[in-house]
Structure 1
Amino acid sequence: MTTSGFTPRRSVLAAALGVAGAAAVQTVASAGSAGAVGAVGAAGAAGSAAKKATAEYHGWTSHTDWLTGSAKGVRAEAGARPGIVISRPAGTVDYTDPHTGTKAAWEYATWTSPVRELSVPATEAIVSWNARTPAGTWIQAELKGTYSDGTATPWYVMGRWASGDGPDSIRRTSVDDQSDDKSAVWTDTLAIDDPASGLRLTAYQLRLTLYRKPGTTRTPTVWRVGAMGSDVPDRFEVPASEPGLPGGRELSVPRYSQEIHKGQYPEYDNGGEAWCSPTSSQMIIEFWGRKPTPEDLAWVNPDYADPQICHAARSTFDYQYDGCGNWPFNAAYAATYRDLQGVVTRLGSLNDVEKLIAAGIPVITSQSFLKEELDGAGYGTAGHLMTVIGFTPTGDVIANDPASPDNPSVRRVYKRRQWENIWLRTKRHNAQGKVVSGTGGVCYLYFPAKPAPAQHRVLRELGVL
């Protein structure tokens, strides 16, 4: 079936990241995760808190956060949405775009975070960001880690990103073939080569480089950057959670099928059949009342239905990965819309998702499964993104599944126990009986720059703010 959200480059991974604002610890939760929002039950809070932490996110997003870093040619700007911009370039560098062959000079400036000590020594790390890149500008995000043996990684490039792909920009790209003898970067995820050895990442720094055409005053603006480190244990099955949203709730999220785009723009991840990630992203972006402009969509064939899905695919496409399933690129795309934030995180159970639904925040989840492991799906997949839009009164999952034949059939109800296991496990057997990896609770969260009070509370509780 669709594979854009989880393909062979993730075959050794079960990672995800969280977002900005503050440090947070996530747990592998069983019945009843800690805390409550609205009608969400608080049963099992003490037990959940006692679970071993498996992930920590820390982000830089406030004006004070930006001032804590080391700046070379960038300026921290205050205001409703603080960020960093180029003030006076630190220098000029040539960059040859590997996807176009174009060599050009770019002015640059850098911001480097303080060292962040991880409370959860990690086997994996992912960097994410929210930014604006006008034509003729782009950004690069890097991570340098410290190992538990006292040595350090090189500066790993975790993404070269621009919101557009016009002639004045670069091609958005991950960077392959980055490794030392202890870790490697797999598209968007830094992973320890041999977790069984006991080696872990214990600390890291992030570095942002902002680029622009020489002689202009244009500048990228970065509002948010952060990293998640995680160490999730291998597991074929996870504990079942008890329903925690009495009466259930369903959010009114637009329904879009990726399947109606089969054959459209095959240059972007082989066309619509592989567009689960951007299709899911677009559903949530529109749930929050944002859409591309007519100018944004002018390039799309007017005969195509839902042209915004084509636009989302193009805007999330990773030219190195050759697909639309780069997790940070999807989050960054969502954040290009007015006053929206986009993050990738890992959650511990469906109780955590219930808290978000109760607060009015839908959740995009990544899962892989055999056909017989998810009743009603009608397919199996090596990896697929769906949107959780609610829960039935008995706790089953209401999902917008973009792998449906048409828009009206996108809304599905899936059994709670089946859904939770295929989403949270880190190991599974594929159709050939081979042991492969699962996603371990990966999800995308898109929400307003200024969340409502109930939304703010649950996002903070779950480590997002």
Structure 2
Amino acid sequence: MPPATPRRTVLAAVLAAAAGTAASAAPAAATEARADEAAPGRAPAPGRVDNRFWSTYTDWRCGTAAGTRAVAGHRPGLVLAAPAGRTDYTDPHTGRTGTWEYATWTSPVHTSTVPATEVIASWNAHTPPGTWIQVDLRGTYGDGTDTPWFVMGRWASGDADIRRTSVDDQSDGRASIWTDTFSIDDPANGLRLLSYQLRLTLHRTPGTDLSPVVWRLGAMASDIPDRFEVPASAPGLDHELTVPRYSQNTHVGQYPEYDNGGEAWCSPTSSQMIVEYWGRRPTTADLAWVNPDFADPQVCHAARHTYDYQYAGCGNWPFNAAYAAAYPDMNAVVTRLGSLTDLETLIRAGIPAITSQSFRKEELTGAGYGTSGHLMTVIGFTADGDVIANDPASPSNEAVRRVYRRREWENIWLRTKRYDANGKVRGGTGGVCYLFWPVKSAPSQHRALQALGLV
């Protein structure tokens, strides 16, 4: 069964048709707080992608705090120390209104190395019951005007207090939020985002000493050129990682309330494979809610805990990263890579990647399906340079390992424009991927991530 069409891809196609270009996103930047031109933790970014993540004790102390406090330790973070106020929140997915104490942290202004058409935020946090977080973004365009604050996500690891959600219908007439992505509406007119800030709001039940803890917050800004074809890279690695194999299609019909019960679970299935590659998995207590007759209940668990109630699916990119980072001592980001050479750098260091791509059936030999948007896990390369992927759109766990032709796979992953089966121009993801890795990573893994601007 081919993967279901994600709503993200439908929106991308609308933008591509309206603007004459692949859909893009850009975050907002603002003018308050100091700029961080040489801030610690800012690493060089490859090509037309800029990554900036705040994660160190110094990072957390450099922002503007209103009731939050930086904490040191082996994994520095941000917590709610003293509430800055109270707010009422009516959950649009349950209709329940609750009162919450809150505190905020606002990042310094980050000037991107890339004047951007697209920005995607991601975060790593723990939200015990009775807490949740909101991530907002605003920025400054090239003409000096500012965006308003936009909500990039309301998130909790569980779903008892609030339903994690993206927020639709956000626009300033020049850029819009598409689920988890801030996009310039018409990139062809030359408008770009030059800088941005992120704001965290930590919420807790009033009168308690509960607190979320946020370990990492940041964004990927990019300006990927419109292209149907991308330059070919030369093979440079013959290596395969041993990664658990899970099929999304063995879960068809299970928990349809989480977007078709397996049919559209490519993202959480891929995320679960990588979580377990790094030795993490849900506990028996975590899985107690899953029907005991279902095999691989951890995939059902991943689907439930990545589900975006507004998007009505499990394919929200930052929510998948946040799910992975909720496991002990795990980092996770959403970013873009520039070539298969970048993926080889990661695989060589022992880091698999979850990639997003779309293609017609005839464009990827051996897949047996076409898709408007699909996630799979790259685990290695053959001696000829072909891509070894754990593709969850397979009939069984045993069939998940696939080998795809290098040139075909590289193009469907990195392009920003494509033709669908009807000959219409659609958008492509331009190299989007999720990367998960442990806090205590090997020196070779740190160097590989640093080379790609991620640590």
Q: Contact (CA 8 Å) 1:23, 1:56: kept in 2 or not?
A: no
Q: Does 1:274 align with 2:264?
A: yes
Q: CA deviation at 1:21?
A: 7.4
Partner of 1:83: 77
Name the structure 2 match of 1:383.
373
Can you list the C-alpha shifts for 1:101-142, whole angstroms capped at 9, x where unaligned?
000100000000111111211011111100000001000000
Distance 2:291 2:443 in 1: 42
Counterpart of 1:158, as a letter, is M
Unaligned 5+ segments in structure 1 are 28-52
User: Does 2:163 correspond to 1:171?
Assistant: yes
- Partner of 1:267: helix, strand, or coil? helix
Q: Sort the Cα spacing of 1:449 and 1:21 in 2 relative to 1 into closer, same or farther, 3 A.
A: farther
Quote the residue 1:439 is aligned against: 429
What is the CA distance between 1:55 and its match in structure 2? Answer: 1.2
Which of the numbers 254, 259, 263 marks the counterpart of 2:244?
A: 254
Residue of structure 2 aligned with 1:193, choices 165, 185, 191: 185
- Alignment match, 2:205: 213
CA RMSD of aligned residues (A): 1.4
Cα distance in structure 1, aligned partners of 2:374 and 2:220: 22
1:58-457 equivalences under 5 Å are 58-166=52-160, 169-245=161-237, 248-457=238-447
Once residues 413 and 25 of structure 2 are traced to their aligned partners in structure 1, the CA distance between those partners, rounded to angstroms, is: 12
Deviations 1:336-384 (A, max 9, x none): 0011111111000001101100000001110000000000000000010
Over the matched positions of the two proteins, sequence identity in percent amounts to 69
Q: Could you tell me whether the CA contact under 8 Å between 2:359 and 2:370 is conserved in 1?
A: yes
- Farther-moved stretch of structure 1 (453-462 vs 119-128): 119-128
Q: Deviations over 1:297-317 (max 9, x none)?
A: 111100000000000000000
Give the CA deviation at 1:15. Answer: 6.0
For 1:371 and 1:385, how far apart are their aligned partners in 2? 15
Say which SS state the counterpart of residue 124 (structure 2) adopts.
strand
1:7 deviates by 2.9
Query: What residue number does 2:41 align with?
Result: 22
Contact 2:8 2:178 in 1 (8 A): no
- Partner deviation per Cα, 1:394-441 (whole Å, 9 max, x = no partner): 110000000000000000000000000000000000011100000100
Alpha-carbon distance in structure 2 between the residues aligned to 1:84 and 1:352? 31
Structure 2 CA distance for aligned equivalents of residues 21 and 61 of structure 1: 10
Q: How big is the shift at 1:244?
A: 1.0
Change (3 A) 1:353 1:54: same
For 2:301 and 2:40, the matched residues in 1 are separated by 29
Instruction: State the 1:146 CA deviation.
Output: 0.3
Deviations 1:22-51 (A, max 9, x none): 334544xxxxxxxxxxxxxxxxxxxxxxxx
Q: Distance in 2 between matches of 1:155 and 1:94?
A: 19
- C-alpha separation between the residues in 2 aligned to 1:387 and 1:5? 21
What letter is aligned with 1:137? T
C-alpha displacement at 1:196, in angstroms?
1.0
Could you tell me which residue of structure 2 aligns to residue 48 of structure 1? none
The answer to whether the 8 A contact 1:5-1:385 is kept is no
The CA deviation string for residues 160-210 of structure 1, in whole angstroms up to 9 with x for no partner, is: 0000002xx100000001101111100000011111111111111110000
**One-letter code aligned to 2:417:** K
How far did residue 14 of structure 1 move?
A: 5.1
In 2, are the aligned partners of 1:364 and 1:388 still within 8 Å (CA)?
yes
In structure 1, C-alpha distance between the alignment counterparts of 2:108 and 2:276, rounded to whole Å: 36
Residue number in structure 2 paired with 1:459: 449
User: Is the contact between residue 255 and residue 410 of structure 1 (CA under 8 Å) also seen in structure 2?
Assistant: yes
Deviation by residue 1:43-87 (Cα, 9 ceiling, x = unmatched): xxxxxxxxxx31101111000000000000001000000000010
SS of equivalent residue, structure 2 residue 256: coil
Contact conserved, 1:423 with 1:438, CA < 8 A, in 2?
A: yes
Give distance in 1, aligned partners of 2:245 and 2:25: 27
Match of 2:18 in 1: none
SS at match of 2:128: coil
Distance in 1 between the 2:220 and 2:380 partners?
Answer: 26
Helix, strand or coil at the partner of 2:423: coil
Q: Aligned partners of 1:207 and 1:62: how far apart in 2?
A: 16
Describe the SS at the equivalent of 2:357. Answer: strand
Equivalent residue letter for 1:170: I
Letter in 2 for 1:74: T
> What code does the residue aligned with 2:332 have?
G
Structure 2 CA distance for aligned equivalents of residues 224 and 56 of structure 1: 16
Match of residue 19 from structure 2: none
**CA–CA separation in structure 1 for the residues paired with 2:193 and 2:170:** 16
Of 7, 10, 13, 1:8 maps to 10
* Count of residue correspondences: 434
8 Å Cα contact 1:4/1:275 also seen in 2? no
Name the amino acid aligned to 1:453.
Answer: P
Q: What CA deviation, in whole Å up to 9, does each residue of 1:318-340 have, x standing for no partner?
A: 00000000000000000000111
3-state SS of 1:420 partner: helix
Could you list the runs of 5+ residues in structure 2 that have no partner in the other structure?
16-22, 28-38
C-alpha distance in 1 between matches for 2:351 and 2:7: 21
Q: What is the alpha-carbon distance in structure 1 between the residues aligned to residue 178 and residue 7 of structure 2?
A: 14
CA contact (8 A) 2:9 2:427 kept: no
Q: TM-score, normalised by structure 2?
A: 0.94
